[in-house]
Chains A and B, each alone.
Chain A
Amino acid sequence: MNLDNLHNKLITAARATPADDRVPYAFEKRVMARLAETVRVDLLGAWSAALWRGAIACLVVTMLSGAWLLRTEPSSEHAEFTPDFNAAVFNAGVFASAGSTDEVW
C-alpha cells in the first residue's frame, strides 16, 4: 500500500478546502464588552495588590523595629535610673494609699 500517495492526496484535499472565516453577529461588541469588564476587574486587582504591598511593608517595618529594640541593650544611665524610678513609683503608691502624698512629691 502506498501511504505516500494517500498522504499527498489528503494534503492536497486540505489545501483545496477554503478557510471558513465567518464571524458571529456582533462579535466585536462582545469582545469590547469583555475587555471593558476585565479592565474594571484589573482596577480592583491593582487596588487590592497595593493594599497587600502596604500591609507587607508595615509588617517588615514592625519586625525590624522589634528586632532593633531587642538587640539594643539598656544604657548605664538608664540602668541607674531604673531602681530609683521604681522606688519612687512604689513610694507614691504606698503613701497615696496612706492618705499622705507630701513626702513623695
Chain B
Amino acid sequence: MERSDAELIRAVLQGDMASFEPLVAKYSPRLFATARRYARREDEIEDIVQEIWSKAYHKLGSFRGEAPFEHWLMRMAVRTCYDFLRAHQRNRENTFTELTKEEDDWIERVMSAPEQVSEKAEAAKQLVKKLMQMLPPPARLIIQLLEIEDRSVKEISALTGWSVPLVKVRAFRARAEMKKCLARVARDKYL
C-alpha cells in the first residue's frame, strides 16, 4: 500500500532516509516543470531541482503539516529559482539575440491583423522565452507567476515571501519592463 506524504515525512524525521525517495519520485516532475520556466540548459535545471530537494530534506523539520507538502515544496522551489535568476543575472544581461525570420513575421502579422494570428505558433513561444530572458529577476518572476500562471497577488506573496504591497509594486514595474522590452524587440521595424 502506498504511504501518504505525512507518513513518509514522519518516517524521514525519525531517521529513515529511504522514505524520502518516494517523495522525490512523486514531486520531481512538478519541480522540473517549474525550473524549466526559469532556466534553459538541462544541467542548470537539474542543479536547481537537486538544490530544492537538498533544502527540502534539511529543512523538513520546519514543515508543520498545516498545509499540503506540495505547497511547502513549491514555495521552496520558487525561492530557489529566484535565487538562481539573481545569481545568473550578470550572465544574462544583454542576452537578447536577433529575431529569427519567423518571429519577425509573427510580430508583423500581430501588428497588421492581430485577430488572424495564432498564439500557438512556435515563433510566439520562442519570442516569449527571449523576452523573459531580457527581464530582470523580480520582473521575470512576477510576469511568470502573475500573468502566465495566473496566480493571485496573495498567492505570489506566499510563494515568494514578499509582502502584498511589494508584490503589487513589483508587478507594476514588471509590466513596464516588459513593455520596454517589447518596444526594444519591435523598435527597428515599427517605431
Contacts and interface: CB of A to CB of B under 8 A. Distances in A.
A66 to B, nearest CB: 41
Interface stretch (A12-20, A45-53, A68-76, A90-98): A12-20
Interface SS of chain A: helix
A88 interface: no
Interface residues of A, number: 32
Given A21-B30, A27-B28, A32-B24, A9 B57 contact: no
A35 B147 contact: no
Interface stretch (B2-10, B82-90, B94-102, B183-191): B183-191
Contacts of B49: 27
Contacts of B32: 20-23
Interface stretch (B63-71, B72-80, B111-119, B157-165): B111-119
B33 A21 contact: yes
A21 B49 CA distance: 12
B22 to A, nearest CB: 8
Nearest to B144: A14
Nearest to B189: A1
A103 to B, nearest CB: 76
B131 A10 contact: yes
Nearest to B129: A14
Interface string B134-175: 000000000000011010000000000000000000000000
A20 B179 contact: no
Given A3-B182, A19-B36, A34 B17 contact: no
A61 interface: no
A22 B191 CA distance: 41
Given A27-B46, A31-B53, 5 more contacts: A7-B179, A9-B110, A10-B182, A16-B120, A35-B20
Interface of A: 1-3, 5-7, 9-17, 19-24, 27-32, 34-36, 38-39
29 contacts: A1-B190, A2-B114, A3-B179, A5-B111, A6-B110, A6-B111, A6-B182, A7-B182, A9-B119, A10-B182, A11-B128, A11-B147, A12-B119, A14-B125, A14-B132, A14-B147, A17-B128, A20-B33, A21-B33, A22-B29, A22-B32, A23-B29, A27-B49, A28-B25, A31-B24, A31-B54, A32-B24, A35-B53, A35-B57
